[in-house]
Amino acid sequence: MKKIIIILLLFSSCASSKPSWDRVNPDTLFEAINVKDLETREKDKNILKVLSFSTLTFIIYTLTNR
């Protein structure tokens, strides 16, 4: 019984990775080195600002209502 479980675990863990020959090659150098566009970086900054502001607002709200 233990052998069957070990064999199943080995096959299930190895089967999840995608073979290297099925991967698509990057079109540009920026995709190859994973550089984000300027527009994407601006969106990330805006999201971070919103999350930071909402976290600070929540902390202040919980501290004042105790």
**What is the tens place of the pLDDT at every residue in 1-30?**
777 777 766 666 555 555 666 667 777 777
Helices within 1-66 (DSSP H only): 2-15, 29-32, 38-64
Distance linking the first and last C-alpha atoms of the chain: 56
Residue ranges per domain, the chain? 33-66
pLDDT tens per residue, range 27-48: 777 777 777 777 777 888 899 9
Put simply, whether the predicted model's pTM sits higher than 0.85 gets the answer no
C-alpha distance from residue 1 to each of 6, 8, 13, 58 (Å): 9, 11, 19, 52
